[in-house]
């Protein structure tokens, strides 16, 4: 099952999360017109989303995303969590 | 700081995007002077933001049919449609020590010479956070940056006389993806330099070269054969391949 969630950050960028998995998030793809430094951290953001049960709460997701050592520009961990939650719900 | 101004060289879109990687790395290594480069393109193209999904942004069949080169950048940000002669693209490659660590401030600082030049020509241009150059009628252009440990790449594209109808055919500006109606209409509104000032593209670029001289000690130069050879090789390996351009 493949699902997508999108958040348009007010005065910011667009973040899209595409997920697969039924009970757990098996794979996550994070795309959009945001900025991220270093660019390779995109894979780390995806890894932070993967593995959680689809019933994951927002706080857990935000915490996992915030452990990634990266500078998120035009969006934040909460926006990425919200896009993920939109995809799983 | 001394800044070399390169206002020559017409390249394919993959070579243009490869030059960004080569030049930012060479400036970081101290092998190349800090540089401002103006772009001259061969074909219409879509420079895609590094993290964007190809199929979300581009009408792929239409782009193929029209010979529009879709090339993923090394910088984040959004997709644009560009045509030779109808946009002005420039790149700054500077040592990191010369650029503010505050990302938002640095976008304003590094586009300021262009805004000064447009204002000198009588255009009501201003910086709009995070990374836009705006006019009361819409968006003139947008910038994107890549920061490495030792250098910053800042590149900006402004619409001089863009075919915006063609832009809307090439790019997928999905309404379902944009929740905020105001932002949606703003994104669709492009303000073109030629609609507001009676200056040729050449005159606009000349005004920009003059304006950048107020900020840095500038001198004219060209890209070296070695830099171009590296860029052509990197273009063939990466920026001309589906593996890179369609990886998302």
Q: What is residue B175's predicted lDDT score, i.e. its pLDDT?
A: 47
Backbone angles phi, psi at B38, to 5 degrees: -95, 140
Cross-strand bridge partners of residue B34? none
Q: Evaluate if residue B179 carries a pLDDT over 70.
A: no
Provide, as residue numbers in chain A, all residues whose Cβ is less than 8 Å from the Cβ of B79: 33
Give the best residue of B48, B76, B155, B178 to mutate against chain A (max A CB count within 10 A).
Answer: B76
The verdict on a CB contact (< 8 Å) between A37 and B147 is: yes
The verdict on a CB contact (< 8 Å) between B177 and A14 is: yes
Give the best residue of A2, A12, A14, A36 to mutate against chain B (max B CB count within 10 A).
Answer: A14
DSSP letters spanning B193-241: GGGT----HHHHHHHHHHHHTTTSEEEEE---HHHHHHHHHHIIIIITS
Q: Which residue of B has its CA nearest to A37?
A: B147
What class does CATH assign to B2-245? Answer: alpha beta
User: How far A4 CA lies from chain B's nearest CA (Å)?
Assistant: 11
Q: Which fold has domain A2-88?
A: Enolase-like; domain 1 (3.30.390)
User: How far B68 CA lies from chain A's nearest CA (Å)?
Assistant: 20
Using left for φ > 0, alpha for ψ between -120 and 50, and beta otherwise, residue B51 falls in alpha
Does A71 reach chain B within 8 Å, measured CB to CB? yes
Domain extents in chain B: 2-245
Q: Which residue of A has its CA nearest to B80?
A: A33
Is B108:B129 a contact under the CB 8 Å cutoff?
yes
Coil/strand/helix, residue B126: strand
Q: What is residue B173's predicted lDDT score, i.e. its pLDDT?
A: 78
Residue in A29, A33, A71 nearest the CB of B77: A33
Q: What is residue B189's predicted lDDT score, i.e. its pLDDT?
A: 83
The verdict on a CB contact (< 8 Å) between B56 and A29 is: no
Does A30 reach chain B within 8 Å, measured CB to CB? yes
Report the pLDDT averaged over residues B84-101.
97
Report the share of chain B in percent with pLDDT over 90. Answer: 91
Domain extents in chain A: 2-88
pTM: 0.93
Residue in A6, A11, A33 nearest the CB of B52: A33
pLDDT tens for B208-241 read 999 999 999 999 999 999 999 999 999 999 999 9
Q: Evaluate if residue B54 carries a pLDDT over 70.
A: yes
Q: How would you write the pLDDT of chain A (89 residues) with one tens digit per residue?
A: 679 999 999 877 999 999 999 999 999 999 999 999 999 999 999 999 999 999 999 999 999 999 999 999 999 999 999 999 999 98
Does A26 reach chain B within 8 Å, measured CB to CB? no
User: How far A60 CA lies from chain B's nearest CA (Å)?
Assistant: 24
Q: What is residue B178's predicted lDDT score, i.e. its pLDDT?
A: 43
ipTM: 0.95
Q: What is residue B174's predicted lDDT score, i.e. its pLDDT?
A: 54
Is B143:B156 a contact under the CB 8 Å cutoff?
yes
Measure the CA–CA gap between B134 and B120, rounded to whole angstroms. 15
**If you average pLDDT over every residue of chain B, what do you get?**
93
Q: What is residue A11's predicted lDDT score, i.e. its pLDDT?
A: 77
pLDDT tens for B143-163 read 999 999 999 999 999 999 999
Measure the CA–CA gap between B217 and B81, rounded to whole angstroms. 33
Q: What is residue B176's predicted lDDT score, i.e. its pLDDT?
A: 42
Q: What is residue A1's predicted lDDT score, i.e. its pLDDT?
A: 64
Cβ neighbours of residue A27 closer than 8 Å, sequence gap 6 or more: A19, A20, A21, A46, A50
């Amino acid at each position: 099952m493949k699902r997508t969630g999108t958040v348009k950050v007010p005065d910011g960028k667009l973040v899209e999360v595409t997920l697969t998995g039924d009970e757990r998030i098996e794979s996550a793809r994070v795309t959009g017109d945001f900025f991220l430094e270093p660019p390779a951290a995109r894979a780390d953001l995806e890894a932070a989303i993967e593995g959680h049960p689809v019933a994951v709460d927002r706080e857990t997701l935000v915490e996992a995303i915030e452990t990634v050592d990266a500078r998120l520009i035009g969006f934040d961990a909460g926006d990425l969590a919200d896009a993920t939650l939109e995809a799983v719900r | 700081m001394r800044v070399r101004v390169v206002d020559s060289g017409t390249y394919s879109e993959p070579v243009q995007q490869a030059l960004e990687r080569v030049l930012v790395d060479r400036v970081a290594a101290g092998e190349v002077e800090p540089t401002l480069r103006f772009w001259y393109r061969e074909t219409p193209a879509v420079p895609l933001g590094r993290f964007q999904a190809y199929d979300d942004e581009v009408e792929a069949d239409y782009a193929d049919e029209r010979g529009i080169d879709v090339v993923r950048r090394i910088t984040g940000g959004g997709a644009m449609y560009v045509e030779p002669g109808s946009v002005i693209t420039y790149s700054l490659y500077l040592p990191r020590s010369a650029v503010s660590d505050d990302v938002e401030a640095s976008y304003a600082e590094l586009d300021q010479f262009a805004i000064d030049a447009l204002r000198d020509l009588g255009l009501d241009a201003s910086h709009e956070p995070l990374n836009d150059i705006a006019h009361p009628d819409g968006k003139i252009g947008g910038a994107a940056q890549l920061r490495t440990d030792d250098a910053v790449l800042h590149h900006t594209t402004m619409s001089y006389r863009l075919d915006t109808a063609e832009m809307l055919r090439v790019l997928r500006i999905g309404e379902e993806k944009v929740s905020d109606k105001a932002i949606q209409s703003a994104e669709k509104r492009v303000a073109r330099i030629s609609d507001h000032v009676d200056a040729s593209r050449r005159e606009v670029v000349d005004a920009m070269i003059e304006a950048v001289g107020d900020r840095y000690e500038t001198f004219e130069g060209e890209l070296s054969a070695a830099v171009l050879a590296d860029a052509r090789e990197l273009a063939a390996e990466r920026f001309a391949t589906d593996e890179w351009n369609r990886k998302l």
